[in-house]
Chain A
């Protein structure tokens, strides 16, 4: 069975600094997708970034980038130039599609606080 592990329950970073959130997963699949979602205090989960496992190039979205290490089954999120609005829970998620069915597995989340 697939699992997703986020080993950092809480983190903090100074405004304008860089922070990296870790995520590891376990799967025997070769084709899958990985996501980072942000959940601010307003509660709604919002996609931050997505990575297709078949792509070697790391995904980037403005200040957000990932370090995808397929062999190590690692998918960390780097936030550059942290802003106060980045304060939120961040969830790593794994998704596979097989036999016409989607399977999403979420990690337990990392609470990030950006300090002024």
Chain B
């Protein structure tokens, strides 16, 4: 079975540009999480969807960040406008319905904002 698929793997952009990161969760999983990883702050939860509905977006840094999950097989994380401090690795993870189930992570999208 395919795992969580993220694209792009790497993105280099200039400050002020719009960035869109994409995620395809594992088929059948009903929870999806977006995390950001930096050396300084570690792994931070940005937003969490359950059955395509945002449940916890308290980690979204500010209005420049938005996330959508239009259907069970696709989610996007958008940053507009991007800033150098947004440079990080962004991970998407999905989870099945089992309460004790683990998160399955994608390979991450490394974003560099110049």
Contacts and interface: CB of A to CB of B under 8 A. Distances in A.
Interface residues of B: mostly helix, strand, loop or mixed? strand
Interface stretch (A14-22, A37-45, A66-74, A75-83): A37-45
Interface residues of A, number: 23
Interface residues of A: mostly helix, strand, loop or mixed? strand
Contact of B106 (A33, A44, A95): A44
A106 B43 contact: yes
Q: Which of A33, A44, A52, A101 has the most CB of B within 10 A?
A: A44
B75 interface: no
A58 to B, nearest CB: 16
Interface stretch (B15-23, B61-69, B76-84, B96-104): B96-104
Interface residues of B, number: 23
Nearest to A49: B102
Given A45-B91, A102-B31, 12 more contacts: A33-B100, A37-B105, A44-B105, A45-B93, A45-B105, A50-B100, A102-B48, A102-B95, A103-B56, A104-B33, A104-B103, A109-B42
